[in-house]
Amino acid sequence: MQTHEIVRRFTAHFEQAGHTPVPSASLILEDPQLLFVNAGMVQFKPYFLGDVPAPYPRATSIQKCVRTPDIDEVGKTTRHTTFFQMAGNFSFGDYFKRGAIEFAWSLITRSQDDGGYGFDPEIIWVTVYHDDDEAIALWKEIAGLPEERIQRRGGDDNYWDMGVPGPGGPCSEIYVDRGPEFGAEGGPEADEDRYLEIWNLVFMQDERGPLSPKKGHPPIGTLPHKNIDTGMGVERVAFLLQGVNNVYETDLVRPVIAKAEELSGKRYGAGGPEGEIDDVRFRVIADHARSSLMIIGDGVTPGNEGRGYVLRRLLRRVVRSARLLGITGPCLAEFAAVVRDAMSPTYPELATDFERISAVIRAEEDTFRATLTAGERIFSGAVEEARRTQRTVLPGDQAFQLHDTYGFPIDLTLEMAAEAGLTVDRERFTALMDSQRARAKADAAGRKVGFVDASVYRAVLDTHGATDFLGYQTCESESR
Ligand code: ATP
Ligand code: MG
Ligand code: MG
Ligand code: MG
């Protein structure tokens, strides 16, 4: 079943049950806690918080999401992409646990001939919050799930709140068992690769105080109007229903891998230890090219801070991965065209705005290729030197030189060092950065360079090198 059909069935199922279809919000919403929208509920927050009355009792959406905390998982797990689409149904003080479980169960297990996804009920597992006996009883009653396929989990996995006093509640997650060839028995608690999480149901029922129930503290009360917030991973359902090995091989992502095969002359899935490393590169290219395009489509341009920096990092990882696959010429625009063709039936702005998008991409690629060419020589020299002297740590001075002279952001150096089996002396690197900043400040205070305080520029330039990027944590605290 193609991705667009999965989406179509989801919307039809919930529209039929009285949900108002609401278009995806932009990836960029004014929300101080978030760099990018990372869940379907984000645009409905004011209704959940009770700040604004909900204009409808039930809604459904297919929300564009970006999760930067998942960037390092990309290509390595079978199930994490930085951009994905979250299909959701929402109840604002209307139906609660029973409704949420009934709707989800019927969509996933109803036969494909009858508009459902047709999963065999025997391979479905669920998790519930450890004290949520009500949810357990409902799963048994509605789905006939046996005790063994219902697992209780603690706050980290199965309690949702916003990290501040306000609404919160237990979650129940739905998993599909991919079979014994994919890992150990024992349910999601044992192996989240064999048991693939497809859908999270959040039962918003509690008022949480300053101390989070996530951490074992009891909620301070019960919400007067209970809400439902759910999120189903469209790409994960596609992965299962298309009989492929991971989310990167699904119909809307895989074409980029094919383009990278064509440009590199290498084959995805060639096998062997080298082949496996290459496969991760293929998947990184496919994922990051797609998320970059979606992010640029929503108006972000590469930069040294915040969203712009995330975008820069994604684009640069595509360029590097392509280079490591042996693609020597510029390639971003070619990947972009493939992403456009795959995604524009749903997101037409990618086609209508393609001139602008590809101009942004080309400029970033040109700059980065120049940076890489210059810096790679220095970097390889440093690695050789470390090997020769049998050190496993790359000196902070060299990381600093790469940053200062060649514009290598520290995370690039860290990533390349890790690939070479080395770590980096970050303490020394940070000390050098700090003293440089102090010098620049003193300089600027001492003499005016063209009537400008140069330390301001220095600070901007340094941002992506010296500071760990806070957006990742900020986003993580928001994800369910
Ligand atoms: P996981 O445990 O696999 O990282 P999660 O528990 O963080 O997923 P939720 O926050 O519950 O995910 O999001 C709801 C649904 O969105 C998940 O059940 C999954 O189907 C999908 N999803 C979450 N993160 C990703 C991702 N990085 N790529 C693709 N789909 C995702
Ligand atoms: Mg996650
Ligand atoms: Mg999970
Ligand atoms: Mg989850």
Determine the distance separating the centroid of ligand 2 and the alpha carbon of 67, expressed in angstroms: 8
Would you tell me how many other CB atoms lie within 10 Å of the CB of residue 187? 19
- This complex has an ipTM of 0.99
The protein residue whose alpha carbon is closest to atom 27 in ligand 1 is 80
| Residue whose entry in the numeric block shows the structure tokens 């998008």 | 357
pLDDT class for 446, splitting at 50, 70, 90? low
Going from the Cα of 409 to the center of ligand 3, the distance in angstroms, rounded, reads: 31
Q: How far is the CA of 190 from the centre of ligand 1 (A)?
A: 17
Q: Is the pLDDT of residue 342 over 60?
A: yes
Closest CA to 291 of 316, 322, 325: 316
**Tokens of residue 77, six digits:** 């797990």
Q: Is 445 a domain residue?
A: yes
How far, in Å, from the CA of 70 to the mean position of ligand 2?
Answer: 7
Same domain for 296 and 377? yes
CB 248 within 8 A of CB 241: no
Q: Which amino acid is at 396?
A: G
Choice among 29-43, 58-72, 110-124 with the minimum mean pLDDT: 29-43
Atom of ligand 1 nearest to the CA of 237: 20
Do residue 156 and residue 267 come from a single domain?
no
Q: Average pLDDT, whole number, for the chain? A: 90
Same domain, 17 and 68: yes
Atom of ligand 1 at shortest distance to CA of 84?
A: 29
| Residue 427 CA to its chain's centroid (Å) | 29
Continuous segment of H or E residues that includes residue 272: helix 272-297
Q: How far apart are CA 12 and CA 449, in angstroms?
A: 64
Measured from the Cα of 77, ligand 1's closest atom is 3
* Domain boundary, last residue among 241, 276, 310: 241
Nearest to 96 by CA among 170, 30, 185: 170
Q: Which domain, by its residues, includes 70?
A: 3-241
Residues 59, 197 within the same domain? yes
CA of 337 to the centre of ligand 2 (A): 29
Distances (CA, A) of 334 to 327, 354, 363: 12, 12, 14
> What residues sit around ligand 3, an ion, with C-beta below 5 angstroms?
197
Q: What is the DSSP string of 169-191?
A: EEEEEEEEE--GGGS-SS-TTT-
Residue ID of nearest Cα to ligand 1 atom 10 = 480
The structure's pTM equals 0.87
Instruction: Please report the atom of ligand 1 found closest to the CA of residue 198.
Output: 20
List pLDDT tens digits, range 154-204. Answer: 999 999 998 888 899 999 999 999 999 999 999 999 999 999 999 999 999
**pLDDT tens digit string along 7-53?**
999 999 999 999 999 999 999 998 877 899 999 999 999 999 888 99
Which of 217, 241, 265 is the last residue before a domain boundary? 241
Where a domain ends, among 369, 386, 403?
386
Per-residue pLDDT, averaged over 120-140, amounts to 97
pLDDT tens sequence across 310-334: 999 999 999 999 999 999 899 999 9
Q: Looking at residue 444, what is its pLDDT?
A: 65
Distance 49 CA to ligand 2 centre (A): 23
Which atom of ligand 1 is nearest to 70's Cα?
A: 27
- Same domain? For 44 and 96 the reply is yes
Judge if 174 and 320 occupy the same domain.
Answer: no
Residues 6+ apart with CB under 8 A from 272: none
Determine the residue of 37, 65, 197 to mutate for testing ligand 1's pocket, defined as the one with the most ligand atoms within 8 A of the Cβ atom: 197
Answer yes or no: is 177 within a domain.
yes
Which of 18, 58, 437, 357 lies closest to 229 in space, CA to CA? 58
Residue 247 in any domain: the answer is: no
The answer to whether residues 132 and 187 belong to one domain is: yes
Q: How many domains does the chain have?
A: 3
Beta strands in 234-355 (DSSP E): none
Gap from CA of 99 to ligand 3 centroid (Å): 22
Name all residues whose Cβ lies below 6 A of ligand 1.
67, 70, 79-81, 84, 86, 197-200, 231-233, 235-236, 247, 479-480
Helices 454-466 & 410-419 angle (0-180, nearest 10) = 30
Ligand 1 mutation pick, 41, 85, 86, 193, max ligand atoms within 8 A of CB: 86
Q: Which amino acid is at 214?
A: K
Predicted confidence (pLDDT) at residue 112 exceeds the cutoff of 70: yes
* CATH of residue 14: 3.30.930.10
